[in-house]
Structure 1
Amino acid sequence: MVSVSSTTDVPRSNLLRGSGVSLGEALDGHRNSLGVLRLILASLVIVDHAFPLGGFGEDPFWRYTNGQTSLGGLAVGGFFAVSGYLIVKSGVATDVVQFLWRRAIRIFPAFWGVLVFAAFVVGPSVWWAEGRPLGEYFTLGPGGPFGYVTANWTLSIGAYGIHDLFVETPYGQTVQASVLNGSLWTLAYEWGFYLLIAVLAVSAVLARARIVVPALTGAFLVAHVASVVAPDRMGAILPLLADPQVIFLGTAFLVGSTLGIYSERIAYDDRLGILAAVVLIATMFTGGFAVLGIPAGGYLVLYLAARLPRWLQWIGAKNDYSYGVYVYGFLVQQCLAYLGVFRAGYVLFTLAAVPITFFLAWLSWHVIEKRALALKNWGPGKGIAFWRSRWTSRSRSASTDASASPIGVE
C-alpha cells in the first residue's frame, strides 16, 4: 500500500481505508504511482492515434461516449489534471522566477529535441530512402526543415509537415497534407496554463486567496455547459473561449489545481475513489462528462496514484519517460505507417510503435530532459531572494568603497 513521509505519521490501517488521511498526505513526496499513471496515459494516446494513423477509422471511444471524448482525449485530460495538481504546488513552493525557469527547462528542451529529430534525422532519412537529392530537402523558408523548426519552436505549431513527407500514409491521405507530429499542439495549452499559475502566484492569489482557483474551475465548467448550449456565442463573450480545447484542457488542469491547492483538506478515501470511478464511467457513456466526469476523473487519477500497490511506485520516480513517450509516439507511428506496418493490422501496428517510442523516450530523458532539469537551481532557478541579496551585497560593497575614497580624488 501507499506510504507517506515520516513527517506524517499516519497509521497503515487508516491509509488503507482513507480514514482521516488527506489527498496531500497520501501523495506525499515520491511515494505515489504518478509516474506509472503518466506512462499509462501517454501509452493510451498511442493506442488512440493508431486508429487514424493506421487508416483503421475513428477511435470507437467517440461512439461509446456519444461524441463526448476519445480515448486519447481522456488520456490527455488525465495528463492535464495531474499537471494542474503538481504545477500549482510548484507555484506555491517557489517564487515566480524559479517557477517559470523550472517549467521552461522541463517543457522546452525535449520539445526542441523532437523538432530537430524530426527535421534533421527522420526527414532526410525518408527523403534519401526515396532516392531524392538531399540538397532539395534542405531548403530554407516555409515548407523545409529549417522552416519547420522555426515555425514551431515557441510551442505554437505553425507547421505540421516538411515538404511532402508522409503525404502517402493513411493519415496523410486523410488530411491531404504532410504531418510529422500531430501530438505537439497540446504543449502550447499546457504552457499557457503554466503562465496562468504564474500570474496567480505573483498576484498572491495562491498564498492569500486560494478560493480563486476553484472559482476559476467553476467558471470553466459553466463555460463547458454554455459551449454546448450556444457554441457560437462563446467567442463573443471571450475570444479565448471560442477554442473548445481551451475549455476542455483548462477544466482538467484547473480541477487538478483545485485538488492541489486544497490537497490537505480533501479526503483520500476509498469510497470517494469508487464514487469518482462510477461518476466518470456513467457520464462518459450517458452524458454530462464535461461537467461531472472531468472533476470525477481528476480525483480518480490522483486517488489511484496513492492507492495503487507500493511496488509500482518506483516506475517514473527517478526517470520520467512519460513526456518523451507523448512527444515521440505520433512521429514513430507515422514512420511505421510510411513503412507499411499498418497492413499487419491494428494490434501489431500499435504494438510495434510502443518499444520504439519508449526507446526514444529513454534517449530523450537521459540525453536532454534529465540534463536540463539538473539546471533547476542554476541562474534564475536560485530565485528572487538570492539575486536580491546578491544585488544588495554588491550595492553595499560599492557604497563602502566610495565612502573610503579620499576626498577630492576623482
Structure 2
Amino acid sequence: MRFASRGELDGGLVAVQSARRPAPRLRVLDGLRLVAALMVVFYHYVALRGGWGADPARVFPTAGLLARYGWLGVETFFLISGFVICMSTWGRTLGDFVVSRASRIYPAYWVAVLVTAAVITLWPDVRTVKGWDSVLTNLTMLQQGIGVWDVDGVYWTLFIELKFYVLFAIVVATGVTYRKCVAFCGVWTVLSATAPTVDDKLLTLWVMPLFSPYFIAGIAFYLMHRFRPTALLWGIVAVSLLLGLHGIPKRMHDNVDGAAAIWPATLIVVGIFGVMALIALGTFDRVQWGWLTTAGALTYPLYLIHQYIGMTIIHALRGRVAAPLLVAGVALAMLGAAWLLHHCVERPLGRRMRNALRRGMEEMRRHSAGPAAVPAGLPVRQEPRAYEKAEPDRVG
C-alpha cells in the first residue's frame, strides 16, 4: 500500500483550490457597469456645453461640480473589462475568444453607428456627419487606427478596448494560466512605464500608458477572486493604482475645462479600486438580485447611443423643459432605447453572428488539421458533422 507524499497532498490541495465549484454570477459587476455608464451619461449631459449651447456651469452650478468627474466611468469600464475578459477566456481557445468578442461588440455597434449618423444628419445642431464614407469606415470600429472621425464621441474607447483584446489574445492563444496572466501583467506594466520616455509612437499606441493600469489591475483582481489574494497580486494592484493616479492630471486636462481640483478624481479612482477589491474577495458574492443582470445588459447599448443623440434632444428641448427634468427624461429615454437595442438587435443578431462565426472557425480548424484528420475515402464536405461530434461547441 502506497501513501501519498506531502508534495502530492499539497499539489492535490492546489488543484482542488484551482478547480473551485462554479461560482455564482457576479451580478454586482453588472450593476457596477451600469453605474459607470451613468457616470459617463451624467458627464456628457451636465458637464459639457454641447446640448445646452452655453456654459454648463451656469445651467448646473452645483451638479456640474460632480458631473465634471463623470469621465472616470471610462476608467471603471477598463478595470471591469480586465476582470471579465480574464474570467471569460479561462479554458477557451483563441477561436472561442474571437467569436465571443466579435458577436458581443459588433451587432449593437453597427446599428448605433447608423442610427446616430442618421440623427445628426437630420438634426445637425450638436454634431454633423463628415461624409458617409467616414460612417462606413466607422462600421469596422477601426477608425481611430487610421485617423478617421468618430461618428459618436464615445467610440474612441472602443478602439482602446479592441487593442486590449489583441494584446490579451497572446495569452489566450497559448492557454490562459495563472502564471501567464501574472507574466502578462508584469510585462505590460514595464512597457507602459517606459513607453513615455522612449518616445516611440508605435509602442505608446499599443501599450496605452494612461489606461493599461486599469486593465492590469482588473486581471489581478480576477486572479484573486478565482484563487486567493497574495502579496504578488496585491503588489500588481498597488502599482497599477499608483500608475493610474499618475495619469489623472493628464485625463483632467483632456476632459475638464478650466481649473478643477484633482483630489476628487483621485478619491473616485481609489474608491473604484476599493469596490473591485471587495468583489475580488467575494464580499458581494451573495448579491444575486436579478435586476442587476438586466442593468448590465443595458450598459453597452446605452453607452453606444446616448451621447450625440441625447445631446441633440437636449438641444431641441432646452428652452421648454427645466434642465434637471430634461436630463432625467433624456437619460430614461436612452435607457429605453438601449433596452430595445439589446432585445431587438444585440441578442438575436449576436446569436446569429456567433453561430456563423463558429461555423467559420470549425471550417478553418477542419481544413487546418491535415490529411490525417480526414478518414480515407470521406468526401471533404461531409466532415463538419463528424467534427461536430468530436469537437463540441465551446463558445458560450
TM-score by length of 2: 0.66
Residues 227-267 of structure 1, C-alpha deviations (whole Å, 9 max, x = no match) = 5xxxxx45x14544279x92222221121122224433344
2:339 is the counterpart of 1:362:
yes
How far the C-alpha of 1:364 sits from its partner, in A, is: 1.1
Partner residue of 1:96 out of 94, 98, 104: 94
Partner residue of 2:349 out of 372, 385, 396: 372
Query: For 1:7-406, what aligned pairs fall within 5 Å after superposition?
Result: 28-50=23-45, 51-52=47-48, 53=50, 54=52, 55-57=54-56, 71-120=69-118, 122-123=119-120, 125-126=122-123, 143-144=130-131, 146-155=132-141, 156-157=143-144, 160=149, 181-204=152-175, 206=177, 209-216=180-187, 218-219=189-190, 222=193, 233=197, 236-237=199-200, 239-241=202-204, 246-267=208-229, 297-301=272-276, 303=278, 307=283, 310=287, 312-316=289-293, 320-341=297-318, 344=321, 346-375=323-352, 378-381=355-358, 388=365, 399-400=376-377
Structure 2 vs 1, CA of residues 394 and 355 (structure 1 numbering), >3 Å: closer, same or farther? farther
Contact 1:259–1:266 (Cα < 8 Å) also in 2:
no
Q: Percent identity?
A: 19
State the number of aligned residues. Answer: 326
In structure 1, runs of 5+ residues without a counterpart are 1-21, 130-136, 162-179, 228-232, 403-410
Aligned to 1:10: none
Contact 2:192–2:204 (Cα < 8 Å) also in 1:
no
Residues 33-66 of structure 1, C-alpha deviations (whole Å, 9 max, x = no match) = 11121111111101111221334447999x989x
Structure 2 vs 1, CA of residues 367 and 385 (structure 1 numbering), >3 Å: closer, same or farther? closer
Contact 2:39–2:71 (Cα < 8 Å) also in 1:
no
In structure 2, runs of 5+ residues without a counterpart are 1-16, 249-260, 380-396
Structure 2 vs 1, CA of residues 319 and 386 (structure 1 numbering), >3 Å: closer, same or farther? farther
Residues 284-307 of structure 1, C-alpha deviations (whole Å, 9 max, x = no match) = 8776978x9857734523635954
Structure 2 vs 1, CA of residues 126 and 266 (structure 1 numbering), >3 Å: closer, same or farther? same
How far the C-alpha of 1:27 sits from its partner, in A, is: 9.9
Contact 1:201–1:207 (Cα < 8 Å) also in 2:
no
Contact 2:91–2:175 (Cα < 8 Å) also in 1:
no
How far the C-alpha of 1:25 sits from its partner, in A, is: 7.6
Structure 2 vs 1, CA of residues 356 and 344 (structure 1 numbering), >3 Å: closer, same or farther? same
Residues 117-136 of structure 1, C-alpha deviations (whole Å, 9 max, x = no match) = 1223x145437x9xxxxxxx
Helix, strand or coil: the match of 2:291? coil
Structure 2 vs 1, CA of residues 81 and 382 (structure 1 numbering), >3 Å: closer, same or farther? farther
Structure 2 vs 1, CA of residues 81 and 383 (structure 1 numbering), >3 Å: closer, same or farther? farther
Cα distance in 2 between the residues matched to 1:265 and 1:295: 23
Structure 2 vs 1, CA of residues 214 and 152 (structure 1 numbering), >3 Å: closer, same or farther? same
Aligned to 2:254: none
Structure 2 vs 1, CA of residues 255 and 375 (structure 1 numbering), >3 Å: closer, same or farther? farther
Cα distance in 1 between the residues matched to 2:373 and 2:20: 44
Contact 1:320–1:365 (Cα < 8 Å) also in 2:
yes
Aligned to 2:9: none
Contact 1:97–1:380 (Cα < 8 Å) also in 2:
no
Cα distance in 2 between the residues matched to 1:207 and 1:216: 14
How far the C-alpha of 1:190 sits from its partner, in A, is: 0.4
Contact 2:108–2:346 (Cα < 8 Å) also in 1:
yes
Helix, strand or coil: the match of 1:36? helix
Cα distance in 2 between the residues matched to 1:249 and 1:237: 17
Cα distance in 1 between the residues matched to 2:211 and 2:38: 19
Aligned to 2:385: none
Task: Calculate the aligned-residue CA RMSD, in Å.
Answer: 4.6
Helix, strand or coil: the match of 1:93? coil
Residues 3-27 of structure 1, C-alpha deviations (whole Å, 9 max, x = no match) = xxxxxxxxxxxxxxxxxxx9x9899
Cα distance in 1 between the residues matched to 2:309 and 2:139: 20
Cα distance in 1 between the residues matched to 2:204 and 2:321: 42
Residues 310-341 of structure 1, C-alpha deviations (whole Å, 9 max, x = no match) = 36443225970100111111023221233042
Contact 2:181–2:219 (Cα < 8 Å) also in 1:
no
Contact 2:78–2:214 (Cα < 8 Å) also in 1:
yes
